[in-house]
Amino acid sequence: MQIALRFYVIEVSKYVITLLMVLYTSLAVTCNITRNKKVFSVCSSFQSGLLLVLMFLCFLDMTFVSGKEEYLYLFAFITLFLFFMITIVSIIYDRSDRQLLNNMCMLSGLGLCIVSRLSFAKAFRQYILTLVSFAFCLAIPFFIDRFRYFKQLLWVYAISGLTILSVVLLTEAKVNGANITFTIKGITFQPSEFVKILFLFFIAAFLCKYNSFKWVFLSAVIAGLHVLILVLSRDLGSAVIFFVTYVLIVIIATHNYWYLLTGVLGGSLACIVAYKVFDHVRIRVIAFTDPWNYIDDQAYQITQSLFAISNGGWFGTGLMQGRPTDIPFVDKDLVFSAICEEFGLIFALCLLILCLCVFCRMLMLAANIADKFYQIVVYGIGIMYIFQVFLTVGGTTKYIPLTGVTLPLISYGGSSVMATYFMFFIVQGIVIKSSHYMTGYENKKAEADTTVY
């Protein structure tokens, strides 16, 4: 009887997991669209329940397939953490955005789940790092709410950001052909993940203060420096993210769409130059345009990724029943292929819709922020997040050339997870801060209304 149960779980769980994910995603979409507060809070609570069941099924499935009980222990730890996070954040910061929090937990949980499928030891490290990141992040909204001098520090952001990037480039720690990491006492950092935040604060502060053409040009030079250093250290993905974020922020800051045209032209030109000058750029393009002829060499990674996605089909092979570990760097840059293979395409598409929900939520929050600086920061974080998702998912599926960035919150990698947590909690902090303003405004408006009558 027990054995039968085990096999039923192994065979059926993938369909149930897909169903739960579809449900969860539709609730997330509903919450994003609805203006009814009651619907919003009911859906949000329901989401937490779904998250629990979904995670349980995933880990139960892995336990049954592998025959190892430690997956269930890991499940217990992860669920405890996620619920602790949801509870404590909503208690301490009652004005924080519940949807953002829920979806962050969901993505984090799924990330831990897929990483533990790929490597149990890595999952454990990832879990610890997530805990540490959360501990840091808990203070961020408080800090943002009280600290007043973010706008004044603009040169500090730029100089520290550029310094960090240059130091990494010069120390030349070679990882996967890309000089992007930093090792201190056995712990490896990828500083470009953190410089993203500094860069964002710099651009926002700078363009809030000065937005005449002369100053925009100066900001472009500084942004270009960031991008150039990233390209030189072969971190193409981050370079593109910095560039796109910068261009979009310039437009929201100046409302001048000519900058978009300039940005597109400049970007295309830069692409052509990079293609001509850099070998590593050409290799990516070759692997994109003609993968099957370079299958055993430059295009090995992308073709293995395509095999995984096609093998998954609609419902996937079921956890631990595919071969995602055939793909090089599957736990980092190509984690989306592993999700496609074992969870199936429907689940993977739901995941992408969830990412879009997170992005749209951030932008809708940004639209309601009165202060331009904070609006730009939230907007920029949204862009960085979704564009990174687009780069990695598009790259692994051969929709665009592969650039090698992580899937935020899901991929294995301490810096990536930590930086993404920072970003999410900065958004929460700004939301809380501006909700104070908003309340003040509404009170004032109410007063004004009464005086009219």
Partner 1 sequence: MKIKKPKLIQQYIDSSARNKSRFHIYITMLVFSALFFGMFVYLTVFVSTSTVKLYNNSYNNRQEIQYKNVTRGTIYSSDGEVLAETRTDENGNEIRYYPYGSMFAHAVGYAVNGRMGIEDSANYYLMHTGASLSERVSNGIENVKNPGYNVKSTLNVRLQKVADDYLGMYNGAVVVSEVKTGRILVNLSHPDFNPATIKEDWGAITSDPANSQLLNRATQGLYPPGSTFKMITALEYYRENGENWRDYHYLCDGSITHDDYRVSCIYGTVHGELDLLGSFARSCNSSFVNIGLSLDRNNWSKTMNDLYFNRPLPTDLLSGVSSVYVGTGSTDYDIMQTSIGQGRTTMTPLHLNMITQAIANKGIMMQPYIIDEIVDEDGKVIRNYEPKEAGRVMTEQEAAFLTELMIDVVKEGTGRNLQNDHYTCAGKTGTAEFANDLNESHAWFTAFAPAEDPEICVTIIIEKAGTGVEYAVPLAKRIFNTYFGLE
Give dist(CA 384, CA 415) in Å, integer: 15
Q: Tokens standing for 301?
A: 């990674």
**Closer residue to partner 1 (CB): 113 or 346:** 346
- Dihedral sign for Cα 349, 352, 358, 360, please: negative
Q: How far is the CB of 453 from partner 1 (least distance, A)?
A: 21
**Closer residue to partner 1 (CB): 148 or 276:** 148
User: Mind giving me the DSSP string for 274-324?
Assistant: HHHH-HHHHHHHHHHH-GGGGTTTTTHHHHHHHHHHHHHTTT-S-TTSS-G
Give dist(CA 260, CA 288) in Å, integer: 27
Instruction: Examine residue 216 and tell whether it contacts partner 1 (CB under 8 A).
Output: no
Q: How far is the CB of 377 from partner 1 (least distance, A)?
A: 13
Choose the binding region for partner 1 from 47-55, 170-178, 248-256, 407-415 (rule: CB under 8 A). 248-256
Choose the binding region for partner 1 from 6-14, 77-85, 104-112, 275-283 (rule: CB under 8 A). 6-14
Cβ atoms of residues 30 and 360 within 8 Å:
no
Q: How far is the CB of 295 from partner 1 (least distance, A)?
A: 5
Choose the binding region for partner 1 from 131-139, 228-236, 342-350, 409-417 (rule: CB under 8 A). 342-350
Report which secondary-structure segment, H or E, holds 189: strand 187-189
Q: Tokens standing for 5?
A: 């149960």
Q: How far is CA 361 from CA 24, 102, 260, 421, 438, in A?
A: 16, 12, 24, 16, 18
The residue count for binding partner 1 (CB under 8 A) is 61
**Closer residue to partner 1 (CB): 125 or 436:** 436
Instruction: Examine residue 313 and tell whether it contacts partner 1 (CB under 8 A).
Output: yes
Q: How far is the CB of 407 from partner 1 (least distance, A)?
A: 14
**Closer residue to partner 1 (CB): 232 or 356:** 356
Instruction: Examine residue 287 and tell whether it contacts partner 1 (CB under 8 A).
Output: no
Q: How far is the CB of 252 from partner 1 (least distance, A)?
A: 5
**Closer residue to partner 1 (CB): 307 or 329:** 307
Choose the binding region for partner 1 from 44-52, 97-105, 169-177, 369-377 (rule: CB under 8 A). 369-377
Using CB under 8 A, pick the residue from 142, 258, 275, 441 that binds partner 1: 441
Q: Which of 74, 82, 87 is nearest to 125 (CA)?
A: 74
Distance from chain centroid for Cα 279: 28
User: Mind giving me the DSSP string for 378-436?
Assistant: HHHHHHHHHHHHHHHHHHHTTSS-------TTTSS-HHHHHHHHHHHHHHHHHHHHHHH
Residue for token digits 């995941």?
A: 351
Choose the binding region for partner 1 from 84-92, 125-133, 251-259, 401-409 (rule: CB under 8 A). 251-259
Query: Restricting to residues 160-199, which ones interact with partner 1 according to CB under 8 A?
Result: none
Ramachandran angles phi, psi of 189, nearest 5°: -110, 150
**Closer residue to partner 1 (CB): 30 or 233:** 30
Using CB under 8 A, pick the residue from 243, 259, 390, 425 that binds partner 1: 390
Give dist(CA 269, CA 264) in Å, integer: 9
Using CB under 8 A, pick the residue from 11, 94, 290, 297 that binds partner 1: 11
Give dist(CA 437, CA 446) in Å, integer: 14
3 state SS of 330: coil
Using CB under 8 A, pick the residue from 136, 383, 388, 419 that binds partner 1: 383
Choose the binding region for partner 1 from 38-46, 228-236, 311-319, 410-418 (rule: CB under 8 A). 311-319
Q: How many Cβ atoms from other residues are within 10 Å of residue 182's Cβ?
A: 18
**Closer residue to partner 1 (CB): 12 or 139:** 12
Instruction: Examine residue 322 and tell whether it contacts partner 1 (CB under 8 A).
Output: yes
Give dist(CA 32, CA 423) in Å, integer: 20
Q: Tokens standing for 145?
A: 């709410």
Residues that bind partner 1 (CB under 8 A): 3-4, 7-8, 10-12, 248, 251-252, 255, 295-296, 300, 303-304, 306-307, 309-314, 317, 321-323, 326, 340, 345, 348-349, 352, 356, 359-360, 363-364, 366-367, 370-372, 375, 379, 383, 386-387, 390, 393-394, 397, 399, 436-437, 439-441, 443-444
